[in-house]
Amino acid sequence: MKGGVSSYSLPSKRGWRGLAVAVFGLVILSMLVPLVFLLGLHNGFHSTGYVSDDRRSAPNGLKNYDLVDQNGPINQSEDEKSTHIDDLMKRLGPTLSKDVIKSLGEEAVNNTVSTDSMQGTAESRNDTSLVQKGLPEPPPEKKDKKVNVTKVKGQVTEYVKGATVDETGKSCQLEFGSYCLWREEHKEEMKDSIVKKMKDQLFVARAYFPSIAKLPTHDKLSRELRQNIQEFERILSESTTDTDLPPHIGKKLQKMEATIGKAKSFPVDCNNVDKKLRQILDLTEDEAHFHMKQSAFLYQLAVQTMPKSHHCLSMRLTVEYFKSQSLDMELPSDKYVNPALHHYVIFSNNILASSVVINSTVMHAKESAKQVFHVLTDGQNYYAMKLWFFRNSYKEATIHVMKIEDLNLDNSDVANSVHLSLSNEFRVSFRSVDKPQTTQMSTEYISVFGDTHFLLPELFPDLKKVVVLDDDIVVKQDLSPLWSLDMEGKVNGAVNFCSVRLGQLKNYLVEDGYNQGSCTWMSGLNVVDLVKWKERNLTQTYHRLLQKQRTGETSARVEALPANLLTFQDLIYPLDDSWVLSGLGHNYGIDAQAIKKAAVLHYNGNMKPWLELGIPKYKAYWKMFLLRNDLFMSECNVNP
């Protein structure tokens, strides 16, 4: 009986002992694994203070930009990023002895990778980005890569998957759009450069210290390096700016630099140093990219949000309108349908912007009594606009405010889906045809009609011709010559934009048989022949192309661009370039003489003149025609 008990109890005891050992091992491992990660020893571990995200995607903002590529997107290879890191490693890394170089092999040490990849983008003011120009045919394995498409408030930018922000900032717009233009212009001189230099030296010293500490014959250097690290850590814990630094900091920097120089001269484990420096580089790049995304988001928020003072003005006018119902705000309508007068159409939800357009136009008109302005707005701003134009006069011109939602349209296809859409602006980035290997991207802005513009024949059935004005323009000359213009049977008189042609969008256009050499065109100032429009049934053509273009892979605003361009294929009458000068909403380098000679200034781009982010030196031309005698202007502190 005892032997039986013994025979059963011994295996049981051994089983419990094995289980106890296993549990003890798991406890040890659970303590070691976090320690390994905290020390950064895990292979491939990247130390970063922020959640890493895919840099090839657009920044998360209120909206996004959609982008189109000419020959199909060409992705930046991983080798290109590796080359960039290797260059930094050569500058920061250890100096290898001849024996080490020989053992590693010259080929491995000097290995570099050259790539020739470049992306193109496009944006809309509904800002839309679109084209690559002069790009070589991509290799087969890259030709079918897809483009990431996202949408931002009326603006659309397309950016190619794989685009990153390079050190020079020239490809910044591929990811962050026109924010990069504003950032470059408002770049401030770096402050606290000594603190930055101390941090850089501290990073390098930390990278070398573990390897130097393992060398038993160099205890003196190890102690010196540790003392410098501890001293720098103490100083940086107490000082965040150069003014807070203790005296004689220059000597401490020289001492640290000399110590690092000694560390570099000794043979060390290059893999460990390389790994540490790469971790530091990843941390720095991730942090810089994170802050760039934050700044770009705030920029988009600023340019796409109505200023508080403007919102106040609209609300005060709306309230006042309903308090003054006894006022007769309906003017005689006989001028509204008289084809002998000069009819201007403005699509806008901005009271001050539309007011400046009208005021600047009538101020330069020889016969303001012949001018009729039709302002189409949405229900939210209708009553404020109506009261504003009732309270303010513009010489002898007639102002007709229309609410887009209340219009009775005959076209059943669109009657139930009418909403106000402004003109679409597209930012187009491309590489020069003459220098296809250059890394510098050129960027242009174009603007075309929005969906609501294609309702013009329905909105004005009794008129034969209208001039469409965007609400981000300023008129500086008399526009009456446009009404005697012979358009030679064309439908839309517009300024051509030949830097981008239809052939460059061939992978994005669904129709065949178009002229690939045709220029794109600009909205802002457009002479529209409504008779020819109706004869060619262009509204139906546009909606047919729009439906054909829709694939579910791109945003509706981007889909509208090719439909818009193809609708007016061979139907654009080119206006002289002197009529309109574009770019005042994004280009900081426009010549003052060019502004002086232009008949119309077009603030296309994100930096509109009524925004705080507007380009200061161009704001004066817009403010010149701003009416400031309205009571609500001062009460709402409106001061663009």
Neighbours of 21 (CB within 10 A): 10
Between 482 and 112, whose confidence is greater? 482
- pLDDT recorded at residue 218: 81
Q: Which of 304, 327, 357 is the last residue of a domain?
A: 304
pLDDT at 103 over 60: no
Task: Kindly report which listed range (250-259, 494-503, 614-623) carries the lowest average pLDDT score.
Answer: 494-503
Residue-level pLDDT at 485:
93
The pLDDT > 90 percentage for the chain reads: 34
CA neighbor of 231 nearest in space, from 219, 223, 220: 223
Q: Is the pTM of this model over 0.95?
A: no
> Averaged over 543-569, what is the pLDDT?
77
What value does the mean pLDDT of the chain take? Answer: 74
**What would the two tokens of residue 345 be?**
């159409």
The two tokens of residue 385 are 């606009």
CA atoms within 13 A on the CB side of 444: 18
Q: What is the mean pLDDT of residues 224-237?
A: 90
**Residue 600, strand partner residues:** 475, 580
Classify residue 72 as left (phi > 0), alpha (psi -120 to 50) or beta.
Answer: left
For the chain, how many residues are written? 640
Do 347 and 276 lie in a common domain?
A: no
Q: Which residue spans within 121-267 are E strands per DSSP?
A: 121-124, 127-131, 148-151, 156-159
Is 495 in contact with 577 (CB distance < 8 Å)? yes
For residue 313, the tally of other CB atoms under 10 A from its CB is: 23
Same domain for 325 and 299: no
- 382 shares a domain with 257: no
**Whether residue 476 sits in one domain with residue 362:** yes
Please state the domain count of the chain. 2
Determine, yes or no, domain membership for 592.
yes
What is the pLDDT, as a whole number, of residue 516?
A: 78
Kindly give, in sequence order, each residue whose CB lies less than 8 Å from that of residue 431, ignoring residues fewer than 6 positions away.
118, 120, 132, 133, 134, 135, 438, 440, 441, 442
Q: pLDDT tier at 148 (50, 70, 90 boundaries)?
A: very low
CB-based contacts of 143, cutoff 8 Å, min separation 6:
71, 72, 137
Residue 107 confidence (pLDDT): 37
What pLDDT sits at residue 196? 86
Asked whether residue 121 is assigned to any structural domain, the reply reads no
SS3 per residue for 78-111: HHHHHHHHHHHHHHHCCCCCHHHHHHHCHHHHCC
Same domain, yes or no: 299 and 322: no
Residue 14 neighbours by CB distance under 10 Å: 10
Instruction: Encode 331-353: b = buried (16+ Cβ within 10 Å), e = exposed.
Output: eeeebbeeeebbbbbbbbbbbbb
* Same-domain check for residues 354 and 436: yes
Does the residue 40 lie in any domain? no
Taking residues 73-94, report their average pLDDT: 48
The Cβ of residue 286 has, within 10 Å, a number of other Cβ atoms equal to 19
Looking from the CA of 243 toward its CB, the CA atoms found within 13 Å total 1
Tokens 């941390």 found at: 283
Q: What is the extent of the structural domain holding 292?
A: 193-304
Residue 566 lies in a domain: yes
Mean pLDDT of 223-235: 91
Question: Are 157 and 64 a contacting pair, CB within 8 Å?
Answer: yes
Between CA 507 and CA 446 the distance in angstroms is 19
Residue 4 is assigned to a structural domain of this protein: no
* Residue at which a domain ends, from 253, 279, 304: 304
| pLDDT classification of 555: cutoffs 50, 70, 90 | low
Give residue 89's pLDDT.
47
Check pLDDT > 60 for residue 1. no
Q: Report pLDDT for 329.
A: 61
317 and 300 share a domain?
no
The CATH number given to whatever domain includes residue 341 is: 3.90.550.10
CA angle 428, 432, 435 (to 5 degrees): 160
- Looking at the fold, whether 284 and 380 belong to one and the same domain comes out as no
**Residue 535: both structure tokens together:** 């004869």
Determine the Cα–Cα distance for residues 474 and 620; give it in Å rounded to an integer.
11
Residue in the structure block whose two tokens are 């209708």:
382
Query: Same domain, yes or no, for 558 and 467?
Result: yes
Give the tens place of pLDDT for each residue, 237-280: 888 888 888 888 888 999 999 998 888 887 766 777 777 778 87
pLDDT of 468 strictly over 80: yes
Are 516 and 503 contacting, i.e. CB atoms less than 8 angstroms apart?
A: yes
Best-predicted range by mean pLDDT (179-188, 239-248, 518-527):
518-527
Instruction: Please state the φ and ψ torsions of residue 24, each to the nearest 5 degrees.
Output: -65, -40
Average of per-residue pLDDT across 366-383: 94
pLDDT band per the 50, 70, 90 thresholds, residue 358:
very high
- Which ranges in 392-529 belong to alpha helices (H)? 412-415, 456-459
**pLDDT at 23 (0 to 100):** 66
Same domain, 296 and 313: no
Average pLDDT of 16-38?
62
Phi-psi region of 605 (alpha: psi -120 to 50; beta: other; left: phi over 0): left
> What average pLDDT score do residues 313-337 get?
81
Is 10 part of a structural domain of the chain? no
Integer-rounded Cα radius of gyration of the chain: 33
Q: How far apart are CA 582 and CA 276, in angstroms?
A: 50
Confidence of residue 419 (pLDDT cuts 50, 70, 90): confident
> Is residue 115 packed enough to be buried (19+ CB in 10 Å), middle (13-18) or exposed (0-12)?
middle
Q: Closest Cα to residue 134, out of 486, 575, 514, 442?
A: 442
Q: Are residues 272 and 323 in the same domain?
A: no
The predicted pLDDT at position 441 comes to: 64
pLDDT of residue 158: 35
Which pLDDT does position 617 carry in this prediction?
93
Task: Tell me the pairing of strands 342-347 and 465-469.
Answer: parallel
Instruction: Answer yes or no: is 281 within a domain.
Output: yes
Say if CB 196 and CB 190 are below 8 A apart.
yes
In a shared domain, residues 519 and 437: yes
In the numeric block, which tokens belong to residue 51?
Answer: 């959640």
Residue 141 and residue 117 in contact, taking contact as beta carbons nearer than 8 Å: no
Which of 304, 320, 339 lies at the terminal end of a domain, its last residue? Answer: 304
pLDDT score at 287:
83
Question: Region 284-292: what's the mean pLDDT?
Answer: 85
Q: CB–CB of 467/343 below 8 Å?
A: yes
Q: Is 212 exposed, middle or buried (CB count within 10 Å of its CB: 0-12, 13-18, 19+)?
A: buried
By DSSP bridging, strand 492-501 and strand 572-574 are parallel
Check residue 614 and give its pLDDT: 92
pLDDT at 140: 39
Is 520 in contact with 497 (CB distance < 8 Å)? yes
User: 121: which 2 tokens?
Assistant: 């983008």
270 within domain boundaries: yes
